[in-house]
Every structure is written in C-alpha cells, then in structure tokens.
C-alpha cells in the first residue's frame, strides 16, 4: 500500500513543472501544454483522494476537467491559428496590441 503522500508529492512536482514552464517559455503552444500539465496534476490529486476516501465523486469530476481541457484546447488552438495568420508569430511577447 503506497501512502497518500507519495501521489500528492508527484502531483505537486508536476504542478510546479507546469508553473515554471509557463514562466520560462514564450511559444504560445508550449504555454498551452504547460497548462495541460497543471490540469493533469490536479486530476491526479482528484483520483488519489477519490481512491483513498472511497468516494467516486473525484473520479466523476475528472470528466468535467477533461471537458474543460478539451474545450480550452480547441478554442485556444483556433485562436493561435487566427493569430498566426495575422502576425506570423507564436511568440507570446510579440502579441502585445492590447497592452499599453
């Protein structure tokens, strides 16, 4: 029987990796992938507690997280295609027309 902390530490490490990825990368698609990594670490926490507390609500919740992730990926990548068509770049720092 693996203690619950092991899973939670793995989840925390993956979340931190995602946060650092968002900070150090400038390719908008890789930023998206870092966000997916963070969503997945949250999923791991959900499954861990669902399993250890014997409650299936956590596993059901993952479906909603996955739905939101899929919707986010579809809309976000469509925005990226529109962005690339207009600016010929995916660098998040060069997209600054809304900034003043």
* Positions 5 through 24 that interact with other proteins (CB under 8 A): 5-10, 12-21, 23-24
Q: Which of residues 35-54 bind other proteins (CB under 8 A)?
A: 36-37, 40, 43-44, 47-48, 50-54
Min dist. Cβ of residue 8 to other proteins (A): 5
Min dist. Cβ of residue 86 to other proteins (A): 10
Min dist. Cβ of residue 73 to other proteins (A): 5
Other CB atoms within 10 Å distance of the CB of residue 37: 17
Of the pair 24, 97, the CB lying nearest other proteins is at 24
Residue 27 touching other proteins (CB under 8 A): yes
Radius of gyration in angstroms for the set of CA atoms belonging to the chain, rounded to a whole number: 17
By CB under 8 A, name the one of 68, 87, 95, 97 that touches other proteins.
68
Shortest CA distance to 91 belongs to which of 8, 35, 18, 25?
A: 25
Residue 71 touching other proteins (CB under 8 A): yes
């Amino acid at each position: 029987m693996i203690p619950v902390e092991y899973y939670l530490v793995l989840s925390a490490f993956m979340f931190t990796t995602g946060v650092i990825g968002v900070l150090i990368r400038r390719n908008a698609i890789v930023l998206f992938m870092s966000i997916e990594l963070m969503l997945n670490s949250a999923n791991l926490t959900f499954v861990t507690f669902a399993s250890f507390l014997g409650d299936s609500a956590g596993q059901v919740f993952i479906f909603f997280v996955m739905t939101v992730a899929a919707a986010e990926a579809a809309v976000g990548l469509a925005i990226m295609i529109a962005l690339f068509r207009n600016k010929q770049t995916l660098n998040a720092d060069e997209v600054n027309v809304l900034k003043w």
